[in-house]
Amino acid sequence: MRFHFLLGVLMTIIFGACVRDQKGNENVTWNRTSNEVICRIDGEPDVINTMLTSSRYTVQVCEQVFAYLMYYDPYELKLVPQLANSQPEVQDITSDSDPNKGGKTYTFEIREQAVWDDGQPVTGQDYVFTLKALFHPQVQAQRYRPYLNFVKDVIVDEDNARKFTVITLDPPNQAVERLGNTIPILPAHHYDPDGILETVALSTFFDGEAIGALVEKDLKLQEFAQRFASPEFTREAKNIMGAGPYRLEQLGTGQPTVLVKKENWWGDALADQSPAFRAFPDRLVFKAIVDPATVNAAIKSEELDVVSDLDPKDFKELKENPFSQGIYNFHAPPLLALYLTYINTRNPKLSDKRVRRALALSVNINEIIDNLYFGMAKQAVSPVHPLDQYFNADLKPLPYDPEQAKVLLAEAGWTDTNQNGIVDKEIDGELVEMSLEYLIVANSERSRNLGIILQDNARKSGVELKLVAKTFNELTAAQKSGNYELSSGGRSLAPTDWEPKQNFYTVGDNRTGFGNAETDQLIDELQKITDKDKRRELYHNLQAIIYEEQPEIYLLVPTGRIVVHKRFDMESSIIHPGYFPQHLKLKAAQ
């Protein structure tokens, strides 16, 4: 008996596991049977700290390590409690003596089960610490601050450290989402063991001038920011601590990022109650692979368990291949995502909206959708997804019209005076040609092919595009610093009402430099107006302004292209990337 058992084990190791395919009519061999999920991502995570990144790939990894007060259910598309034990209690501030009269308070209580990796409880003081770190002027978290600038203070209950009240003034309509889901909570005792931030009141951090002056003269506050963002606390596994289901095992350049499920994670007992606590795989491995041919080969050799944003051509071919049909399931959900071209409106060549509109008219979207996406996409019109209830349907897709583009360029003073095929203009006594650098993702065939199409399209309008390849992190850094002319880009969209503050407010993660007092006022009003008709009017007005000014060229909204190994059950979502690796559940032996 022992001999037969060992022989069976040996045969499984050598030949893999034999199972029935989805039709049950033939044997298919699976090489992979473990409860480990190997995910392909486009870019390497830069840091394991959500607050310090703008990379969606990094956030995807961080969401497994850390936990939020509130969690977005990716299937029901609603906000549910995670660290919090319930929705917050909300009260109006009505006292005449209260400087925050007209505001609201939001009282949360953290679950008694919630603990950090070292067993210490998650408390309201951790929430206070997280906000202090977020608003520390030397912590590079500008991307998130505009979402929480309505917070005035947080009071932790003296008798219950898990209970705290957030005091706000002029809270936005999405206040609960912002308070609970903007960033995960971090453990104060781990990331600030010396209690440096404890010496400064939270309200001081919300006063930009006061905290700036204080940090400038306080060396300990400066040291905190340096240590908080140092590789020691953002990349070294032993110093990463969260309340999420996984711990970091490995993070490094040129190697996969590996997460391991925590033993006896506190949320396991709640997994049947909400997706916020589902964490089924024993290990999550994130491999950064950009080249489509490499991705395709890795799928065929069963080196990957789940791939999203698969090259459309490869997706269709794999879906029709009998061999891959026996190993993988295929999902094509509509995605809340947007592909676009960023335009640096601060650049003198691009500061005129007529030039930007000409560039938009120089893009043959149909060619891109047909040739690069094999029809698995739709033309985008604005920064709002067409499925959003506040999408402005009056805005029509711009046609491909290089002749009209030439007219607009001429109106802006750009004509081909030296007959070399590129329009030019005299600026400060110097002849300047409309030659623009277009940033693409290095080693990404699809990004390069898109760039080549755009390059060919633009030439017909008299514009030269020079393709410049950068790694994903380099490209993102260039966008954020404004050190670019044109750049390829993508944006994941939230399932809630469109939130323009991050991308279009003059203060924030505004990568195009577009915005003015009028648009800022519209965005501010949208934070407060609850009447649906009025909100629709404001949303439509803002989209119309963006459509007119063209700070971004909206290319397409994609259909998801996901393959997942058949040994896992998976429910797809319209939230990018269309799947959640911690929710993949190993099927029972077949």
Question: In this structure, what are the phi and psi dihedrals at residue 442, rounded to the nearest 5 degrees?
Answer: -60, 145
- Tens digits of per-residue pLDDT, 551-564? 999 999 999 999 99
- Tens digits of per-residue pLDDT, 129-145? 999 999 999 999 988 99
pLDDT at 499: 84
Q: For 112-271, list the strands marked E by DSSP.
A: 151-156, 163-168, 246-250, 257-261
Q: How far is CA 361 from CA 339, 364, 401, 437, 465, in A?
A: 16, 8, 5, 18, 15
Tell me the average pLDDT across 141-159: 94
Q: Is the pLDDT of residue 513 over 90?
A: yes
Other CB atoms closer than 10 Å to residue 411's CB: what's the count?
A: 12
pLDDT at 9: 32
| Cα–Cα distance, 488 to 448 (Å, whole number) | 10
DSSP 122: P
| Cα–Cα distance, 268 to 374 (Å, whole number) | 42
Across the chain, mean pLDDT equals 92
| Cα–Cα distance, 267 to 270 (Å, whole number) | 5
Tell me the average pLDDT across 506-518: 88
pLDDT at 28: 64
Tell me the average pLDDT across 318-346: 94
Q: Is the pLDDT of residue 173 over 50?
A: yes
DSSP 585: E
Can you give the three-state secondary structure of 279-316, one letter per residue? CCCCEEEEEECCCHHHHHHHHHCCCCCEECCCCHHHHH
| Cα–Cα distance, 194 to 88 (Å, whole number) | 31
DSSP 39: E
Confidence band of 22 (pLDDT split at 50, 70, 90): very low
Tell me the average pLDDT across 527-534: 88
pLDDT at 589: 56
DSSP H or E stretch at residue 432: strand 430-433
What is the set of domains in the chain, with CATH numbers?
Answer: 66-233 (3.90.76.10), 337-558 (3.10.105.10)
pLDDT at 231: 96
Tell me the average pLDDT across 477-492: 93
DSSP H or E stretch at residue 11: helix 2-15
Which tokens go with 556? 């397409």
Can you give the three-state secondary structure of 52-72, one letter per residue? HCCCHHHHHHHHHHCCCCEEE
pTM: 0.81
Which of left, alpha, beta for 470 (phi over 0: left; psi -120 to 50: alpha)? beta
The top-scoring range by mean pLDDT among 42-46, 454-458, 506-510 is 454-458
- Tens digits of per-residue pLDDT, 404-417? 999 999 999 999 99
Count how many Cα atoms sit within 13 Å of the Cα of residue 445 in the half-sphere of its side chain.
15
Tell me the average pLDDT across 169-182: 93
pLDDT at 290: 86
Exposed / middle / buried, residue 121 (Cβ in 10 Å: 0-12, 13-18, 19+): middle
Parallel, antiparallel, or unpaired: how do β-strands 27-30 and 163-168 relate?
Answer: unpaired
- Tens digits of per-residue pLDDT, 350-399? 999 999 999 999 999 999 999 999 999 999 999 999 989 999 999 999 99
More confident residue, 548 or 14: 548
- Tens digits of per-residue pLDDT, 414-450? 999 999 999 999 988 899 999 999 999 998 888 999 9
pLDDT at 23: 42
Confidence band of 27 (pLDDT split at 50, 70, 90): low
How many percent of the chain have pLDDT more than 70? 95
Which tokens go with 465? 């595009």
- Tens digits of per-residue pLDDT, 28-60? 678 889 999 999 998 899 999 999 998 888 999
Residue type at 207 in one-letter notation: D
| Cα–Cα distance, 460 to 483 (Å, whole number) | 26
Confidence band of 588 (pLDDT split at 50, 70, 90): confident
| Cα–Cα distance, 460 to 446 (Å, whole number) | 22
CA dihedral 128, 129, 133, 135 (to 10 degrees): 20
Parallel, antiparallel, or unpaired: how do β-strands 435-441 and 486-492 relate?
Answer: parallel
